[in-house]
Amino acid sequence: LRILVWGHMTDPNMVDSYSGVVSSRSIRLSLVAAELNGLEVIAGDIGNAYLEAYTNEKVYFVAGSGFGELQGHTLVIVKALYGLRSSGARFHEKFSDTLRDMGFTPCKMDTDVWMRDAGDHWEYVCCYVDDVLAMMKNAQRFYDELVTKYKYKLKGVGPPEFYLGGDFYRDPDGTLAWGAKTYIKSMLSKYEANFGNLPPKRSRPMEPKDSPELDTSEELDEKGISVYQQMIGEMQWCVTLGRFDIFSATMTMSRFRACPHKGHLERLKEVYGYLRKRPEGAIRFRVGVPNHEDLFEPEQMDWSRTIYADASEELPNDLPEPKGPSVRVTSYVDANLMHCKATGRSATGIMHFVNQTPVQWFSKRQATVETATYGSEFIAARQCTEQLIDLRLTLRYMGIPLDGPAWMFGDNLGVIKNATIPTSMLSKCHNALSYHRVREAISAQILFFLKIDGKENIADALTKFLPWSDLGALVEPILFQKGETLTEEIAASLIKLRGVSSSSRSSRPHACS
């Protein structure tokens, strides 16, 4: 087929030209709900997806010799062909209509998560263009209906094994895991093609207390810049797939993409060497509720005589009915003062768990320069609070019940006292916005804010370059320890729910238990 000339008979639509995609966080939350309710998880791919839809615009071309006697004729395209700018959006509309006809409605916090009431629980469908992930008691029936009733052509239907670049599998005890081993293998293959060999294995992503912003080595040439940007992009997707143990390094090195130096490229090689040594890390969907009450007792403060006396968690009136077991949200927050010695800006690190499953991680330089740890930690606490409010609302809009306030842990006692004691006064007025945001959330019982030791704060791995002795203690129980890490009582109830063997189940406590 040769197309000689093509064009638009109507003005091209410059808005809504692409298909929406489900966020990785929404996928993780849906999988937590699936594991919690004992749902089947089945993935599938819609073949020739765009051709299922029709164009809204009139697009024409002049036929070439491949059209036989129609050569030279002006023909109008009516199907959403691959290559047309609006085809993704047209397929998205077509499949959305199909899901609505099947009884699904989009979640208001992520419209590519579709929900359907199934009595005592919700069913979920996550859409990433033509990749579909269904979580139901009988997910196979959903795909059969797509074929028989709606005439879609499906391929690869079955339990997910490789989805969006990540590996899906179950540990010997049945615990669902989502890792990046295959993607890391691809990263290392490209590395070898670029440099002629594999990186030496390393025990940590970057040297502790390194300051790449002070590097004065020679700038890379055009080819070197291209390789550097490729490696940064691969590291960013690796973080998305769950390897938050390289997030601090990725965040730090990403800022040099426009004009990297040779020293910066050498640091990326070290990160690749770390991934080569430890490619097995994976997020595990552990759904046991962490028993914080055994170790912590939030003090009930009287906020009735403060300016926050009327504070309450704002909830919309269109929330779906919560169904299934309730979940507990736990967050860890940390700040690293003067993370960047060139600008003086600090870094924030945040890790969010739903039950014992990490669902969201955050590592970023702060927008302001703080002169003391107090200020940078309060900014981080405010960022964590805002993310918690968003996460709790997302869970509610997905029909997942919460068991009460979220638990937020930090390691700066001064900030925690200032935030949790009603009579405490602000010592630095330029931190007023962060101060009031956190205190209002605490008074509204959105969250508890509690002190833990810095060595136990998983967010520490998102703000600093740690030696493996410290980094491993934080990430090994989450990324590298297989199976459930629950008490025997919780393990027994999950075994009954899922019908899996307990012969290989670990009773070692999890870092968030």
pLDDT reading at 502 higher than 50: no
Can you tell me the mean pLDDT for 147-153? 94
pLDDT band, residue 1 (cuts 50/70/90): very low
pLDDT reading at 296 higher than 70: yes
Q: What are the phi and psi torsion angles at 405 (to 5°)?
A: -60, 155
CA distances from 320 to 37, 101, 395 (A): 17, 19, 10
Question: Nearest to residue 315, comparing CAs of 392, 222, 229?
Answer: 392
Can you tell me the mean pLDDT for 342-347? 96
* Structural element, H or E, at residue 4: strand 3-8
Can you tell me the mean pLDDT for 476-482? 94
Q: Check: pTM over 0.75? Answer yes or no.
A: yes
What integer pLDDT is reported at residue 13 of this predicted model?
56
Can you tell me the mean pLDDT for 116-130? 95
What integer pLDDT is reported at residue 52 of this predicted model?
79
Q: Are 85 and 78 in contact (CB under 8 A)?
A: no
Partners of 485 in the β-ladder: 506
Q: Are 346 and 382 in contact (CB under 8 A)?
A: no
| Percent of the chain at pLDDT exceeding 70 | 91
pLDDT digits (tens, 9 = 90+) for 226-284: 999 999 999 999 999 999 999 999 999 999 999 999 999 999 999 999 999 999 999 99
* Per-chain mean pLDDT for the chain: 90
Length of the chain: 513
Calpha distance 247→464 (Å, rounded):
10
pLDDT reading at 175 higher than 70: yes
Can you tell me the mean pLDDT for 336-347? 96
pLDDT digits (tens, 9 = 90+) for 373-382: 999 999 999 9
pLDDT digits (tens, 9 = 90+) for 31-72: 999 999 999 999 999 988 777 778 877 788 898 888 999 999
What integer pLDDT is reported at residue 76 of this predicted model?
86
- Helix, strand, or coil (residue 38): coil
pLDDT reading at 490 higher than 50: no
List, as own/partner pairs, every contact residues 163-172 make where C-beta atoms lie below 8 angstroms and the sequence separation is at least 24, other chains included. 163/43, 163/131, 163/133, 164/24, 164/27, 164/128, 164/131, 164/241, 165/237, 165/241, 166/241, 166/242, 167/282, 168/43, 171/284, 171/482, 171/483, 171/504, 172/482, 172/483, 172/501, 172/503, 172/504
Q: The tokens of 386 are what? A: 């805002």
Calpha distance 74→84 (Å, rounded):
17
CA distances from 357 to 109, 332, 361, 441, 513 (A): 20, 13, 11, 23, 11
pLDDT digits (tens, 9 = 90+) for 413-466: 999 999 999 999 887 888 899 999 999 999 999 999 999 999 999 999 999 999
pLDDT reading at 488 higher than 70: no
What integer pLDDT is reported at residue 14 of this predicted model?
55
Amino acid identity, position 301? M
What integer pLDDT is reported at residue 8 of this predicted model?
53
Can you tell me the mean pLDDT for 107-120? 96
Calpha distance 114→126 (Å, rounded):
6
Rg (CA), the chain: 25
pLDDT reading at 3 higher than 50: no
pLDDT band, residue 2 (cuts 50/70/90): very low
Q: Are 153 and 46 in contact (CB under 8 A)?
A: yes
What integer pLDDT is reported at residue 88 of this predicted model?
83
pLDDT reading at 4 higher than 80: no
Q: Are 50 and 81 in contact (CB under 8 A)?
A: yes
Calpha distance 270→202 (Å, rounded):
7
What integer pLDDT is reported at residue 54 of this predicted model?
80
What integer pLDDT is reported at residue 497 of this predicted model?
45
Q: Are 228 and 257 in contact (CB under 8 A)?
A: yes
What integer pLDDT is reported at residue 428 of this predicted model?
80
Can you tell me the mean pLDDT for 290-317? 92
What integer pLDDT is reported at residue 499 of this predicted model?
47
Instruction: Write down the residue that tokens 């039950």 correspond to.
Output: 355
CA distances from 433 to 241, 344, 346, 440 (A): 33, 21, 17, 11
DSSP 207-242: -TT--GGG--SPBP-HHHHHHHHHHHHHHHHHHHTT
* 134 vs 55: which has the higher pLDDT: 134
* Structural element, H or E, at residue 84: none
Instruction: Write down the residue that tokens 């002169």 correspond to.
Output: 371
List, as own/partner pairs, every contact residues 102-105 make where C-beta atoms lie below 8 angstroms and the sequence separation is at least 24, other chains included. 102/142, 102/145
- Helix, strand, or coil (residue 454): helix
pLDDT digits (tens, 9 = 90+) for 394-413: 999 999 999 999 999 999 99
pLDDT reading at 470 higher than 70: yes
